Amino acid sequence: MVRIVVVFLGLSVIAVSLRTSYYSQHLVMPTEEGKGPPSKTFVVASVEKDDISWLHKHLPEWDVSRYVVDNASANLTVPRNKGQEAMAYLTYIIDSYDNFPDLILFMHNGRYQWHNDDPLYDAVPVLQNLQLPYLISQQYTNLRCVWTLGCPAEMEFNKSPANVDASKTTEIAYPEAFQELFPGQSLPPTVGVACCAQFVVTREKIRERPIEDYKRYRQWLLDTPLDDYVSGRILEYSWHIIFGKPPVHCPNTKECYCRVFGQCDLECGEGECGQHWPFPPYSTLPPGWPTVGWDGETRSEEDLAGLRENATTTSPTAEIRSRALVLT
Ligand SMILES: *[C@@H]1O[C@H](CO)[C@@H](O)[C@H](O)[C@H]1NC(C)=O
Ligand SMILES: *[C@@H]1O[C@H](CO)[C@@H](O)[C@H](O)[C@H]1NC(C)=O
Ligand SMILES: *[C@@H]1O[C@H](CO)[C@@H](O)[C@H](O)[C@H]1NC(C)=O
């Protein structure tokens, strides 16, 4: 497992996206008295060749701010393609500081990615099931409930030198980066949060920090000699701290699925709920996923429904399942 984890993180480039059709159509959001549903935007880190039409198709109630990191002429782009998705996220925050919607969801561009918290790694149900009133009440919410990878202790800094694992490059680089990102704050002993740098925040939460803080984080990203892989991951394990959560932020998994996604019938142990997020054998899904499986086998809609049903001891409601199975 450790080996696979390392490969995943090495390849974790840029990949997800979200939407909330059902709830935004059926619930009036309790933001302020007399105010309509919250305004909401996906901030998508992408490269020119990515296709995000699935987002517009399945989550049309969200606005999209797509950052293209490898095209200097794109409508929305970054000063330099460095630091993975963090550069796009920080550039959005700096560009939009005076004009945020109520909710901002930061994500990669791909629909199917190993790190999406879904039995088929499909971002569509993840995004469609989001419980907006809860997200508003939390102000920062990670898009993963499963603890693998990142919880409960991705990094520990008080180890004796003999116990430091040289392959944990982010853990080794984090303390010095922390001093630059959060001057005057003391390094926590442990940092843990669900991986993969996809999360939702409210305008108010972002604006609790002055724009200068976000400029400092981005300048650090521009200036650091660290590999993108490491600097991107340092931010990946800092967003929750930036947005006011404790250094170890690993909510109870069962409650998390219920509150964040409305999936309240899952049977869970600590950190996971059955095979709701099956640990993938590779970090790249096969072309044609999910109708093509890991071994190249073709899967019918019934097969996929069966996989979803088997993924958790108690299956999702028929209504959720049917929405989740709209493939492409
Ligand atoms: C970069 O973006 C511009 C504006 O959308 C587009 O016209 C151009 O074709 C893009 N360049 C490449 C290399 O894709
Ligand atoms: C760039 O922005 C303009 C104006 O909002 C829009 O019409 C156009 O489709 C955008 N181009 C791309 C490639 O997103
Ligand atoms: C679901 O689980 C049952 C019982 O273990 C098994 O027979 C069936 O093949 C599984 N279906 C799928 C699609 O994995």
- 52 secondary structure, DSSP code: -
List the structure tokens of 55. 């987002």
With b for 16 or more beta-carbon neighbours within 10 A and e for fewer, the 25-48 pattern comes to eeeebebeeeeebbbbbbbbbbee
Task: Specify the residue with its C-alpha closest to ligand 3, atom 11.
Answer: 306
For residue 306 and ligand 3, the question of a CB distance below 6 A is answered with: yes
Q: What pLDDT does 122 receive? A: 96
Q: Which residue type sits at 276?
A: H
Let me know how many helices (H) and strands (E) the chain has, helices first.
Answer: 14, 8
Nearest ligand atom owner, CA of 308:
3
For residue 305 and ligand 3, the question of a CB distance below 6 A is answered with: no
Q: What pLDDT does 161 receive? A: 86
Q: What pLDDT does 310 receive? A: 81
307: CA distance to ligand 3 center in Å? Answer: 7
Mean pLDDT, the chain, rounded, equals 87
pLDDT per residue over 161-191, tens digit each? 888 889 999 999 999 999 999 999 999 999 9
Residue 272: CB partners within 8 Å, gap ≥ 6? 146, 147, 148, 253
Question: What's the average model confidence in pLDDT over 106-134?
Answer: 96
Closest-CA residue to 43 (of 272, 214, 178, 290): 214
Nearest ligand atom owner, CA of 48:
1
- Is 208's pLDDT higher than 90? yes
Q: What pLDDT does 2 receive? A: 39
List the structure tokens of 211. 């724009």
Taking every pair of Cα atoms in the chain, the longest distance, rounded to a whole number of angstroms, is 60
Provide φ and ψ at 215, rounded to 5°.
-65, -35
Q: What pLDDT does 327 receive? A: 26
Q: What pLDDT does 311 receive? A: 81
Q: Which residues pair with 248 in a beta bridge?
A: 192
Burial of 316 (0-12, 13-18, 19+ CB in 10 A): buried
Q: Which residue has the tokens 């996929």?
A: 304
Q: What pLDDT does 238 receive? A: 98
CA–CA distance, 87 with 94 (Å, rounded to integer): 11
- Is 21's pLDDT higher than 60? no
235: CA distance to ligand 2 center in Å? Answer: 29
Question: What's the average model confidence in pLDDT over 248-269?
Answer: 95
Question: What's the average model confidence in pLDDT over 128-135?
Answer: 97
Measured in whole angstroms, the distance separating CA 253 from the mean position of its chain's CA atoms is 16
Domain ranges of the chain: 2-324
Nearest ligand atom owner, CA of 75:
2
CA–CA distance, 105 with 120 (Å, rounded to integer): 21
- Is 140's pLDDT higher than 60? yes
Nearest ligand atom owner, CA of 73:
1
pLDDT per residue over 260-289, tens digit each? 999 998 989 999 998 899 999 888 999 999
Task: Specify the residue with its C-alpha closest to ligand 3, atom 14.
Answer: 307
For residue 74 and ligand 1, the question of a CB distance below 6 A is answered with: yes
For residue 81 and ligand 1, the question of a CB distance below 6 A is answered with: no
Q: Which residue has the tokens 């709209």?
A: 326
For residue 303 and ligand 3, the question of a CB distance below 6 A is answered with: yes
Q: Which of 68-82, 215-229, 265-279, 314-328 has the lowest mean pLDDT?
A: 314-328
Whether the CA torsion 261, 262, 263, 264 is positive or negative: it is positive
- Is 323's pLDDT higher than 60? no
Q: What pLDDT does 282 receive? A: 87
Mutation to probe ligand 3, out of 310, 312, 314, 321 (largest number of atoms < 8 A from CB): 310
Higher pLDDT, 306 or 54: 54
- Is 325's pLDDT higher than 60? no
CA–CA distance, 188 with 115 (Å, rounded to integer): 26
pLDDT per residue over 71-99, tens digit each? 999 999 999 999 999 999 999 999 999 99
Higher pLDDT, 14 or 327: 14
Closest-CA residue to 14 (of 79, 78, 75, 86): 86
- 307 — pLDDT class (breaks 50, 70, 90): confident
- Is 320's pLDDT higher than 90? no
Question: What's the average model confidence in pLDDT over 133-157?
Answer: 97
